[in-house]
Amino acid sequence: MISEKMLALGESRSVIRDISEFGAARAQEIGAENVFDFSIGNPSVPAPEKVNKTLSRLLESMDSITLHSYTPAPGMMAARAAAARSESRRAGFDIPAQSVYLTCGASSSLAITLRALVCPGDKIALLAPYFPEYKVFVENAGAEAVVIPPADLSMQPDIEKLKEAAESGIKAVIVNSPNNPSGAILSAETLKTMADILTAASEKKGESIYIIADEPYRELVYDGAQVPYVPGIYPNTVVCYSYSKSLSLPGERLGYIMVPPCAADSEKVFAAVCGAGRSLGYLCAPSLFQYMLAECADEMPDTAVYAKNRALLYGGLSELGFECVKPDGAFYLFVKAPNGMSAAEFCEAAKRFELLLVPSDSFGVEGYARVAYCVSEDVIRRSMPAFAKLALLAAGAARI
């Protein structure tokens, strides 16, 4: 006997990876230049120069045994301190290194945090649209996901639905701002309203409700948009961060969990994070990258490339008549399927023109497609005639 639950997970495929693999196969058939693959969120700007230079220097200058040794499970103190200093500058209050637990990216940050917080029967609220893997992490921790729909095209949550969920009992809410897949940033006003609701529900229940702030895109913002600092608005927040997008290092697996001292039972929560990391077998983040982090925690991504892509794509698709959520951050455009089409119908229609988009159903909302614009500018420019054909096809068909 093996675990039926894990078997089902292993056999069910991630829609995003499925489409991305289809894109790679299609590129072999018809040439990469003829496929417009907007499926996956792989950064298209290189890692900052200082990151690569530091890695080279570490490899050349450090004793190899030391460089590749195990580190303490939560990470080397110098790397945790560098991440904490950077986080403190953002917070505007002091965050000690002891509040930071280094991980293998946001995925493990989330899996560990949920495992640390969840008790049997707990419910975790997800604000749709949400990163599809949240459901996997929530269910694996033994909790049940409660989906809160967006209020409207602004992609802020339906506050009444959140209130109902909080009053009927939740352990935590996962927030992701800037958001994958919509690029929306949760406004300070939304977060304050959420904080009031969660505080009132916590008091009524006599138990803390946490926000889990999943923030891999917080440095990727446009037109001077500000990402409110969630623990500054709601102290009972655990931050899950990743360098996958901000330092363009998705394959290297580096991120952290930060439990701020202001969070309820912060020391116990941090200890539970250590316990969850241990129980899940996440011993330490890659050591070479921890050494790099100690020197590069404040490096910033070059967002100019994404900003240009965003302007081209949002402007181009809006001109063609597509209704899009204007993204304030991240590198995704959320496009409404036109003319009453379902997300799947729209994405299938797009495939006819070699446009690879991700249908929104797995993000917890119907009727949209996600276009990942972390691609070259050339791909966006050359894809516009294909989008024009898609607009024509969609306009002519009530149902395809």
Residue numbers at the binding site for ligand PLP (CB under 6 A): 41, 105-107, 131, 176, 180, 214, 216, 242, 244, 250, 255
Residues 279, 298: Cα–Cα separation, whole Å: 31
Q: Least distance in Å: CB of 391 to ligand PLP?
A: 27
Nearer residue to ligand PLP within complex by CB, 175 or 347: 175
- Which phi and psi (to 5°) does residue 375 adopt? -135, 180
Which residue minimizes CB distance to ligand PLP? 105
Q: Is the Cβ of residue 208 or residue 362 nearer to ligand PLP in the bound state?
A: 362
Q: Which is nearer to ligand PLP, 40 or 82 (CB)?
A: 40
3-state helix, strand, coil in the chain (%, to 5): 50, 15, 40
Q: Which is nearer to ligand PLP, 332 or 387 (CB)?
A: 332
CB of 170 to ligand PLP, least distance (A): 19
Do the strands 332-336 and 368-372 form a parallel or antiparallel pair, or are they unpaired? antiparallel
Q: Pick the closer one to ligand PLP by CB: 113 or 244.
A: 244
Q: Which residues fall within 8 angstroms of residue 105, CB to CB, at 6 or more apart?
A: 242, 243, 244, 250, 253, 254, 255
Give the shortest CB-245-to-ligand PLP separation in angstroms: 7
Q: How far apart are CA 334 and CA 329, in angstroms?
A: 12
Cα 95 off chain centre by: 23
Closest to 39 measured CA to CA, from 52, 57, 22, 56: 22
- Closer by beta carbon to ligand PLP, 215 or else 345: 215
d(CA 283, CA 228): 32
| Residue 186 zone, left/alpha/beta (φ > 0; ψ -120 to 50; rest) | beta
| Shortest CB 392 distance to ligand PLP, Å | 32
Q: Compute the least distance from the CB of residue 312 to ligand PLP, in Å.
A: 22
In the structure encoding, which two tokens stand for residue 197, read together? 């609701």
